[in-house]
Chain A
Amino acid sequence: MLDTQSNRPDQVPNRAGVGFKAQHLDGILQNPESIGWIEIHAENYMGDGGRPIAQLRHLRERFPVSCHGVGLSIGAEGPLDVDHLNRLKKLVDWLQPGLFSEHLAWSTHDSHFLNDLLPVPYTQATVDRVVAHIDQVQDTVGRQMLLENPSTYVAFEESDRSEIDFLQEVAQRSGCGLLLDVNNVFVSATNQNYSPEGYIDAFPTHLVGELHLGGHEQDADDFGATLLIDSHSRPVVDPVWALYEYTLAKAGPRPTLIEWDNDIPEWDVLANEAARADRLLSAAPAARAN
């Protein structure tokens, strides 16, 4: 059973949501039942005023909202940007989103913002740093954060533990939850040569507050091995839908986002992706005991 429709911004139901794009506003408002909630990229709503913020104020009256940061650089070797953290707090304070998430990645170095989710080595030193940064985020913003598993294209020689062990220790020590991006699992598993189902089997799904689905593109590395690129520019592929069903069978239904950030399609195309996720969510059993 799906949760009943919620129109409170602070209650995100176990339904499909979409990453909000301004060009979809009319489509969404004409058929609001087609999605259960919306997600916004925090950085797009950190201006001082004007149309983007007016639209978001309008939408939060009608939909539950998830606030997804893409610029905090939690995995950075240097300190967090306090100005940026305060901007995030200000946004979360008025928006009161039902979910609040960021990435296991870095993007800022020496005050340069590189606008990509860059990878970190899985070591004790990185765990300690990421935990300290998440503590700082959760203390400042005043609420729990979900940390998202990355899509990775390279591995670090110095890594001495699995991504899952890494995420589990970070979650345990910081008290953060996890955002499980099923497409990222598929992309990283392909690129790093492990089983995506095995990853889901090992994942602490009881800590998962939200799932992501998105499209990827295909390339090849120097040796001709398949290299998948998390592009958010295409429909979710069938093997990722299958992995999503596999995830739901273990985790039970969870709020599920369709991400589509590049080559953005007409609203109907995105709404169809959301409907497909909703069908799988309503068929999903309750969570298995971990």
Chain B
Amino acid sequence: MAVQSRFAQALLDPAHPVPDGLIDPLGRPAGKRFNVYRNNVVVSLMDAMETAFPVIRKLIGAENFRNLAGLYVRQHPPTTPLLMFYGTDFPDFLDNFAPLAHVPYLPDVARLELARRKSYHATDATPVPADALSQIAPDRLMQLRLTLAPAMQIIPSRYPVVGIWEYNMTPDAPQPPAEAQTALITRPALDLQMQLVSPAMAAFLGALHQGEPLDTAFDTASAQDSAFDLTAGIVLLLQSDLIVEIHL
């Protein structure tokens, strides 16, 4: 076990000496040859971070992002070979990264980028037909439990995360408004859709997603906003193809 432990430590820590027993063809210490592995590991993971967080990169600049990613990949190497999900700890890392504390919205923007990737790779699901709920007797409607699409993601924020994302990723998008925003990400087929929802709507969807029946979900949303409109909630569920199963 020891050899690969020393090897792995030296890969992630440039101050760590090159492990003993590694040589060149003439039997001399491998020296700089070992740096090929160090470089492959760190550069490939920094590249994966660039692919994963393009908006954070735009917000802080390419060079700053490269430095930040270099710190992150050494402290949080991946824990599985599925690099498509690499960076799960990055929002929390940003929360605790004092030099960027003056850009307080970065962690939530990183959460949004992660959520979009989760949605992109989520299990495919077929929505129920648009008239599925109208076939149900009105007195039973409020007791229904729904299975929502696995690709649904909700990111609440004190910052205009959707506006910031669009401003950086979409040509001609307007300046982000100064407001709190909650993002709803859905994937009706293969393409992601992102829209703004109210905190009450997010609470409604979140409760349904956790298996609560419609009446409990409605109560949860109404506690947030007494004017919550149940019809608008149901319309959103159907229009965004979010219901994949109805449990009577």
Residues of A participating in the B interface, judged by any CB pair closer than 8 Å: 43-44, 46-54, 70-73, 76-78, 81, 83-84, 87, 106-116, 118-119, 121, 153-158, 191-194, 219, 221-223, 225, 227, 229
Contact = CB atoms under 8 A, between A and B. Distances in A.
B45 interface: yes
A118 B37 contact: yes
Nearest to A262: B47
Contacts of B41: 114-116
Given A112-B8, A116-B41, A49 B22 contact: no
B5 A109 contact: yes
Interface residues of B, number: 46
Interface stretch (B79-87, B133-141, B175-183, B210-218): B79-87
Contacts of B45: 115
A189 B120 CA distance: 42
B187 interface: yes
A77 B32 contact: no
Q: Which of A70, A83, A154, A222 has the most CB of B within 10 A?
A: A154
B123 A48 contact: yes
A109 B1 CA distance: 9
A44 B84 contact: yes
B48 to A, nearest CB: 7
Contacts, number: 143
A113 B81 contact: yes
Contacts of B8: 109-110, 112, 114
Given A121-B3, A222-B33, A223-B28, 19 more contacts: A47-B120, A48-B122, A49-B121, A49-B125, A73-B81, A109-B5, A110-B5, A111-B79, A112-B78, A113-B79, A115-B41, A115-B81, A115-B83, A121-B21, A153-B33, A153-B36, A154-B37, A191-B25, A219-B36
A166 to B, nearest CB: 16
Interface of B: 1, 3-5, 7-8, 11-12, 21-28, 30-34, 36-37, 40-41, 44-45, 48, 77-84, 120-125, 150-151, 187, 190
Contact of A192 (B21, B25, B150): B25
Nearest to A229: B36
B217 to A, nearest CB: 25
Contacts of B81: 43, 70-73, 81, 84, 107-108, 113, 115
B24 A84 contact: no
Contacts of A229: 36
A50 B151 CA distance: 9
B7 A118 contact: yes
A218 to B, nearest CB: 12
B22 A156 contact: yes
